A and B are shown apart, each in its own frame.
Chain A
Amino acid sequence: MIASPRLRIPTFGLTGGTLPVALGLLVITFWVVAAATVQLWPLDPPLEMVARRLQPPSAEHWLGTDALGRDVLSRTLHGARFSIPIAVLVVVAAALIGSLLGALSGFFGGILGAAVMRLVDVTLAFPPILLAMAVAASLGPGLENAAIAMVVVWWPLYARLMRAQVLEVREREHVEAAVAAGAGPIRTLFVHVLPLCWTPVMVNATMDFGQVVLLAASLSFIGLGATPPTPEWGAMISDGARSFYHWWIAFGPGFAIFVVVLGFNFVGDGLRDLLDPRTD
């Protein structure tokens, strides 16, 4: 018998379930490190070298140069400084605001709770990109405003998720036991209900990082987020999209977005499998 030759990729003991998570973590770690340290690197993003403009990828400029002669790779790495913190900030803010409102609405109910949920319904009735555009446009361009716009679009998802969780958990007997022990409503909510509600919120948040990176880039692409000299990925793609024959200008940031979103999705999937016993 001849053993069929098989290509063996070293996986370091990682299995089908954990390999994507490890890859995702690796990618995210890379971009987080890049975001934190890129300013210390010997790169010169703002420097305009018109003499070397629109060069295709070469040994010297791995991802080529753009219309102003700036190195695309160097700018792409700098882009992490904007995209990663914004994604984290937006997701954390949306998750906190949404969870809190959703939890209060679910736990106390009443007119205020219903009002919150109707606001959620109204917000979710708009396509997210349209609503984000409208809010960002009314606030004026700039990354901070884009971030605010994204939080406005994103919190209702968490409110709805958290409300559903709280509605389920508050019916459990240990919550009644806490009330029977003399705990007040605030204590009951924060000590006995919320700690059991976080898992899906955390999983959702991990999955949302990628989506927020995309939305931030989209807003910048249409000119509502970062403004030109800023090496933000969406803005860079917008730059590159104008000169179709110089594909490398858009390729760098485009690929960066792709890799980051994929990384977050891998990690989110893995986290869900790990934390949520309901999915296999």
Chain B
Amino acid sequence: MSEPALLEVRDLRVSFKTAAGELEAVCGVDLDLAAGEVLGVVGESGSGKSVALKAIMGLLPPRARVTGSIRFRGRELLGASEREMRRLRGGRIALIFQDPLTAFNPMLTIGDQIAEMLMLHDRSLSRAQLRARTVELLELVSIPEPSSRIDQYPHEFSGGMRQRAMIAMAVANRPELLIADEPTTALDVTVQAQILDVLRDLQRELDIGLALVTHDLGVVAGMAHRVSVMYSGRIVEHAAVDDLFAAPRHPYTRALLASIPRLDGARARLASIDGSPPSLAGRPPGCAFAPRCLMSAAVCRSERPALRPVGGSRSACHFAEQLGARTEEAEALR
């Protein structure tokens, strides 16, 4: 008998009541994640990717209305009791924040905060046990001299070390599902690769299902197995990572890929996507990307394309087939 999937999100919708009416930040998102798998969730800021993943942890403010279904190991999380969610949060589901400076309490030492994470989920641990385990965790993320750094405050850590500590804290209770919300965005480029290495090693070692939220396709290419591209609250393309890079099936994905600098200098000028994503209140009736899309036709402005299988991927574009063909053509020419 097969175990229920680690994470199964169906038709997730999140809306916020505002003075301007009810605004939908996430409009019907499906996500699947298996144990030991890395899912990249890519999108611009405001695409709803962070909101969708925070909804999984039940971290949205009460004014947010969340509907749909979020199943974790077969257990429905939407409508689960606060008690149950509290046990899951930091225990079987953990979160890595974007900015480790603001995500640590400035008044407590790093050690205290990791110990708190352990203590919240296992009251039986003694002070000495907590300390020993905390040192172990800091070692696990390669923080040098952990037994002395444990007593330091967040401001005494460098950005990279803080993010390592954050990862140590997140994996403290051996979570099955780890959500990393732009874990490297706030870091120096030179440190980003190190942090990703730490994250990847731990993910493999502990067999964690990792949902990696980012706007950096480079991060996705190096870590993810599958990728969901989000735009304006919807998933516009979902594909295995190799397929996504080889044959993007959505113009938005293509545009994103075109905006990555290449080391071989194959591109003289970086492409940018003109315009900006629509506001939550002002989404066009058809495809949300249509106003910025180079391929948009009349049908794009009147009819919203559904996410449908195209080749091995899924795409929400009326012209997904042609898109794929073009890239394959280009591939063949090479």
Contacts and interface: CB of A to CB of B under 8 A. Distances in A.
Interface of A: 172-174, 176-184, 187, 191-192, 195-196
B86 A182 contact: yes
Contacts of A183: 86, 90, 116, 120
Contact of A196 (B87, B106, B120): B106
Contacts of A182: 86-91, 117, 120-121
Query: Residue among A172, A182, A183, A192 with the most chain B CB within 10 A?
Result: A182
A274 B313 CA distance: 60
Given A182-B91, A182-B121, A177 B116 contact: no
B57 interface: yes
Contact of A177 (B87, B104, B120, B121): B104
B95 interface: yes
How extensive is the interface on chain B, given as a class? Answer: 20 to 34
Query: Closest 7 CB pairs between A and B?
Result: A182-B90, A181-B90, A173-B102, A180-B95, A177-B103, A182-B89, A174-B105
A180 B105 contact: no
Contacts, number: 60
A174 B121 contact: no
B106 A180 contact: no
B273 interface: no
B97 A181 contact: no
Given A173-B103, A174-B103, A196-B107, A181 B59 contact: no
Contacts of A179: 59, 89
A174 B106 contact: yes
7 contacts: A173-B97, A174-B105, A176-B103, A181-B90, A182-B89, A183-B90, A183-B120
B99 interface: yes
Interface of B: 57, 59, 86-91, 94-95, 97, 99, 102-108, 116-117, 120-121, 169
Contacts of A181: 89-90, 94, 116-117, 120, 169
Given A173-B97, A173-B99, A180 B104 contact: no
A237 to B, nearest CB: 45
A180 B121 contact: no
Nearest to B105: A174
A183 B121 CA distance: 9
B97 A177 contact: yes
A50 B107 CA distance: 62
A180 B116 contact: no
B57 A180 contact: yes
B111 to A, nearest CB: 14
Contacts of B91: 182
A182 B57 CA distance: 10
Given A173-B99, A184-B86, A178 B57 contact: no
Given A177-B97, A182-B91, A172 B102 contact: yes
Contacts of B87: 182
A130 to B, nearest CB: 39
Contacts of A191: 105, 108, 116
